[in-house]
Amino acid sequence: CLRLLGNVMILVVLGLVALSYYPIVVTIYGPAMFDQNISPVKEVAAIFVVASFHVLAALMLWSYFAAILTCPGHVPDDFRPDVDPEENPEAMSDKSDPRRPRFCRKCQKWKPERTHHCSICGRCVLKMDHHCVWVMNCVGERNYKFFFLFLWHTFLLSLLSVLALLPYFSEFFKGERNADKGSNPAQLAVSFMAFVVDLAFCLSLFGFIVMHLKLIAANCTTIEMFEKERIKPWPYDKGVKKNFEEVFGTSKLLWFVPVQRDQACTNEERLRLRM
């Protein structure tokens, strides 16, 4: 059932891109690039909008499918904590310490720090943030960057669409456009629908992005953010710069490109897995 829902979500994402693509590229700004009757300024603006839309849509879909197809990170079968709880039971007594050894009763094996069991995936996930229905996958250590970039590029694409469709949104209420612009009521209706949908996504995604930026800056996950309020200082906070590099990598030129970080395993992950 959840797999079917995930497949539906893929179609929804593709449908939302197509909903904006039709009025912006097909009916409005695409034809304007080749219209000899408009001013050079409007022609350049049309080229900018069409080119930006294609770049952002490509980055958004790239990030989306990377988040779907990338394993979030699972616990090796041979993992054992540094401190053997059987020999040192006091190591597990401090419930306020997130670094204490923990045993997953469902997987029947030890799990590293910051690892949580996903009941939907049926396994433990490294640095688990949450299980996302939109990407049909857990968001964890190795695909969190792709998930965040999916949110980021979707927000930018929605913002571009809102700004590009804003003039036509007002014309929808007028019920008419100049005949030389070759518009009709059906095109105006699609433009209005795309504007409303993009505006809704733009506003909702802004809140999610701000929340995740705060989490990244503190080296914290959605699951851990309530635990972080009880534990001062937060043991995983390395400073804003290193916290961002932990997610996006050290090469800032690739921060907003959905490619793997400098290495498949981060230094933090290697320490947790005792590699």
Catalytic site positions? 132
The answer to whether 194 touches 19, Cβ cutoff 8 Å, is yes
Chain position carrying tokens 């979707």: 154
- Pick from 98, 118, 95, 81: nearest CA to 2: 118
Closest CA to 126 of 50, 175, 75, 65: 75
Q: Where are the beta strands (DSSP E) in the chain?
A: 102-104, 109-111, 116-118, 123-125, 130-132, 137-139
Enclosing H/E stretch for 74: none
Half-sphere exposure of 100 (CA within 13 A, CB side): 15
User: Which tokens in the block code for residue 138?
Assistant: 């857990």
Q: How far apart are CA 268 and CA 248, in angstroms?
A: 13
How many whole angstroms separate alpha carbon 180 and alpha carbon 1? 50
Decide if 221 contacts 141 (C-beta within 8 A): no
Report the largest interatomic distance among the alpha carbons of the chain, rounded to a whole angstrom: 83
Residue 104: beta bridge partners? 109
